[in-house]
A and B are shown apart, each in its own frame.
Chain A
Amino acid sequence: MKRITIDPITRLEGHGKIEIFLNEEGNVSNVYFQVPELRGFEKFVEGRPVEELPSIVAKICGVCPGCHHMASGKAVDAVFGVTPPPTARKLRELFYMAHFVHSHIAHFYALAAPDFVVGPDAPASERNVLGVIGKVGVEIGTEVIKQRRLAQEIQALLGGHQTYVVMNIPGGVRKGLLPAERDEIVNKAKGFIEFSKFSLKIFEDVVLGNKDYVDLILNGPYSLKLHSMGLVDDNNHVNFYDGKVRVVDVNGNEHCKYSPEEYREYVAERVEPFSYLKFPYLKKIGWKGFVDGQESGVYHATPLSRLNAADGMATPLAQKEYEKMYSVLGEKPVHATLAMHWARLIELLYASERLYELATDPDITGKELRAELGKIHGEGVGIVEAQRGTLLHHYWTDERGIVLKANIIVGTTNNNAAISMSIKKAAMGLIKKGVEITDGILNKIEMAFRAYDPCFSCATHSLPGEMKLKLCIYDEKGNLINTYERK
């Protein structure tokens, strides 16, 4: 048995590792995707006052701290049995839309764009964000950095600091918005909408305008038939901050739609001894192994799955783009993994439009920031859509609000099985007997997981170049017989 080790690809709160085993003919026999790190938040939040959790759990991820802060804030509200007043509710969502804008911009330009704007087979030294800037011009590159900065500034204004967020307090928020600050946010939101449209135009020109790329998206080894999960509002439109979790099956029929507190009826997690990260699946179907299709319990929770699981977008410009994507790709649900990039840009436009709506809402500068708290209920679940998937926090407390237990299912965790399978499929499609393993092949394997924007490829970390990859092939005794390196 030959063995190819890709270690590390990059990180998920640490790093990710891929083991590819080849059979005697040189074809792929199996692939393992391993997450080598654990910190144990669920355990060490025990004993903490529950109101401290939104800021403690924000440290699960420094790239999407706002997601954990919001899911946790909602779980804490539920522990107190309280609903924040409209101004507080809207300020939270306003913050959250800025969080999406920063993250989606960073992912598309720093991570995804190099593969399309520069090209999947381009020399690796050019296939990075500086290469993208080289292609599209310094002016646009500076604009990308600027727009992301403006989104970070909105978060810092509302949350104390863009990474160390202290916004939420049980039943509301700690700080209101002044009219002058609101006006600045309105201006920024207008800029985000224009920038999102511009980004979709780039995608249309560069990707959709290139027959090879369209072929790669639709016919490359990047398609898995998975169930799709996403949060929806009352109209079954995509919502990032609130609503019910809806799952549609591989054919687009509703598998389930549930309130956050019902999650344990629908989702379960599996433990594998070779990875610190668990593998969630749809409980009613059960774990059938690393397989796709209608009979499998494996689902994904990504920008694409959110669009698949919904009937549309809640804002007009994003809705237009939504309709266009499904019309061009000719199916719904879409199963082409690489279409996640397109879906992410449609979400960027939605987040920008929603940010504008919220910033111009008269309630946003209201003074009522906190609701009266009632008796402590002792249990609460909070769910939001993180950029990288549906995020859940569930807490139990004593009568004083001291945490007894916590259960957390993180965005990327939902996709653990799906990512493993996407990598395997790409590896099987690309590594074959007699085919030389080139730099382009390595990159195309990488593209399989990059589409998920998992935390181990955190977009914001990829400056100033793209990570290099090294494949080592060992013989059955573990001796290194060949290496391929992408510099």
Chain B
Amino acid sequence: METKKPKLKLAVYWGAACGGCCVSVLDVHEKLFTVVENADLVFWPIALDTKYKDIEAMPDNFIDVTLFNGAVRNSENEHIAKLLRQKTKILVAYGSCAHLGGIPGLANFSTKKEIFERIYEQSESTINPEKTKPQSRFTVAEGVLEIPEFYNDVRSLGQVVDVDYFLPGCPPQTERLVEVFLAIVTGAELPPKGSVVGAGTKSQCDECIRKKTENKQITKFYRPWEIVDDDETCFMEQGIICMGPATRTGCGNRCILGNAPCRGCYGPPDDIKDSGAKMMSAIASNLIEKDPQEINKILNDLVDPAGTFYRFSLPNAIFRRKLV
């Protein structure tokens, strides 16, 4: 005596994002028809009515699942994150920015003031002798114009509201999204709250397609353009920094397949708290050199460690931003 299950109410929203997460949803391609069969999209700013008032009017927990992508960069992102939390049963931090802060999180190496000065004053093609800056409230002849307030810090979604699940990746692999979606639709038992879903538990190195040898001793670091990669040996063994040791599986080795080292968009696996700390220990354990001066010389070739180790995760790192 099966009764037809009501369709899932699904919402997709972006904070400070690039749109790539939404493209990853669209990249279900022909499976789109399956999605539409099983779910009603109740909120998707690009596709549906984006009036926030309509969301406010919904009863609490009206939406079954919200995929929130993008970081929290301004007052509007924060407001909608809180609103959607209230209206949603299962809030998913979808993609690297919502999960860890993502690429926009690199802005935490600067301040709001520095960003505004660079873009609106110092930019070489900008002519702005009056040093005009965008203002969240500005009075024109006809009335007051408003835009959201740009915050000093970028935050991940979990730093602003309570998140049920994290689905990593920049963007998430579409196959992983489909798996999670089907699990929810079929009523499969869901993992405990706060889990990372749609990804593995091991590190990239455990599933890497590249060959590892016993020769793990790094004598020099190279930037990718300084040597001709042999297309098959572990990047780290060749002296090219790869975030594989500190990154969770799930992407299907996609950058490695493009002959590029991993940059950590899936974030660290459960047993690693901080990507940078893990990378430093991975590097230290691979250095054959014992002389401190020689070690310094080797490490000197390791450029921009902070921007590399926290490429996608600065807001969630132990050191969350540059101090000013």
* Chain A residues within 8 Å of B, Cβ to Cβ: 1, 3, 8, 10-11, 13-15, 17, 19, 21, 29-30, 32, 34-40, 42-49, 51-52, 55-56, 59-63, 65, 80, 142, 145-146, 148-149, 152, 156, 159-167, 169-171, 174-175, 263-264, 267-276, 278, 280, 283, 287, 370, 373, 394, 400-402, 405, 407, 409, 455, 457-458, 460-470, 487
Chain B nearest CB, measured from A245 CB (Å)? 13
- Given A21-B142, A37-B148, A42-B118, A48 and B24 touching (CB < 8 A)? no
Give residues 94-112 of B contacting A (CB, 8 Å).
102-104, 106-107, 109-110
B41 proximal to A (CB < 8 A): yes
Nearest-neighbor residue (CB-CB) of B134 within chain A = A276
B147 touches A62 (CB 8 A): no
- Scan B280-308; emit 1 where CB is below 8 A from any A CB, else 0: 00000000000000000000000110011
Asked if A467 and B223 make an inter-chain contact with CB atoms under 8 angstroms apart, the answer reads no
Asked whether A458 lies within 8 Å of B46 as measured between CB atoms, the reply is yes
B255–A61 contact, CB under 8 A?
no
Question: Closest chain B residue to A62 by CB distance?
Answer: B20
Please give, as numbers and ranges, the residues of chain B lying within 8 Å of A468 by CB-CB distance.
48-51
Q: Is B27 at the interface (CB under 8 A from chain A)?
A: yes
Specify which chain A residues have a CB less than 8 angstroms from the CB of B123 in the assembled complex.
42, 269, 278, 407
Instruction: A19 to B144: give the CA distance in the assembly, Å.
Output: 10
Other-chain residue from B47, B76, B263 in contact with A465 (beta carbon distance below 8 A): B47
Total residue contacts A-B, CB cutoff 8 A: 282
Chain A residues with CB below 8 A from B126, complex form: 268-271, 278
Which residues of B are at the interface with A, using a C-beta cutoff of 8 A? Answer: 14, 16-24, 26-27, 29-30, 32, 36, 41, 44-51, 73-74, 76, 102-104, 106-107, 109-110, 114-115, 118-120, 122-128, 132-135, 138, 140-143, 145, 147-148, 150, 170-171, 223-225, 228-229, 254-255, 257-260, 263, 265, 303-304, 307-308, 311
In the assembled complex, the Cα of A156 lies from the Cα of B199 at a distance in Å of: 20
Asked if A160 and B124 make an inter-chain contact with CB atoms under 8 angstroms apart, the answer reads no
Q: Shortest distance in angstroms between B290's beta carbon and chain A's nearest beta carbon? A: 27
Provide the residues of chain B in CB contact with A52, threshold 8 Å.
Answer: 263, 304, 307-308
Instruction: Tell me the smallest distance from the CB of A38 to a CB of chain B, in Å.
Output: 6
| A63-B258 contact given A43-B110, A276-B134, A373-B225, CB 8 Å threshold | no
How far does the Cβ of A115 sit from chain B's closest Cβ, in whole Å? 16
Which 7 residue pairs spanning A and B have beta carbons closest together?
Answer: A62-B20, A160-B258, A461-B46, A468-B49, A166-B260, A174-B259, A62-B19
Cross-chain contact A470 with B49 (CB below 8 angstroms) = yes
Are A273 and B138 touching (Cβ within 8 A)? Answer: yes
Name the one of A10, A21, A46, A272 contacting B50, with C-beta atoms under 8 angstroms.
A10
Expressed in whole angstroms, the Cα–Cα distance for A149 and B171 within the complex equals 17
Q: Taking CB as reference atom, which chain B residue is nearest A403?
A: B304
The minimal Cβ–Cβ distance linking B247 to chain A, given in whole angstroms, is 13
- Which residues does chain A contribute within 8 Å of B27, judged by CB atoms? 149, 152, 162-163
Q: How far is the CA of A113 from the CA of B24 in the complex (A)?
A: 23
Verify A467–B26 contact, CB threshold 8 A: no
Q: Which residues of B contact A59 (CB under 8 A)?
A: 18, 20, 102-104, 170
Q: How far is the CB of A160 from chain B (nearest CB, A)?
A: 2
**Closest B residue, CB atoms, query A276:** B134
Are B32's CB and A170's CB within 8 A?
A: no
CB of B45 within 8 A of CB of A11, answer yes
Q: Does B30 contact A149, Cβ atoms closer than 8 Å?
A: yes
| Interface pair B223/A51, CB less than 8 Å apart | yes
Report Cα–Cα, A162/B27, bound state, in Å.
10
A30-B142, A263-B125, A271-B132 known; A160+B16 contact, CB < 8 A: no
Known: A43-B114, A276-B134. 4 other contacts (CB 8 A): A3-B143, A36-B74, A160-B259, A161-B255
Residue of A nearest to B303 (CB): A49
> In chain A, what residue has the closest Cβ to B95?
A62
- Give the residue name and chain of the A residue nearest to B173 (CB): A161
- Distance, CA A247 to CA B23, complexed state (A): 33
- A394 CA / B124 CA spacing, docked (Å): 9
CB-CB under 8 A from B308, the residues of chain A are 49, 52
User: Contact: B18 with A51, CB < 8 Å?
Assistant: no
What chain B residues lie within 8 Å of A457 (beta carbons)? 46
B74 → A minimal CB distance (Å): 7
In-complex Cβ contact of A34 among B119, B147, B229 (8 A): B147
| A264 / chain B contacts, CB cutoff of 8 Å | 124-125
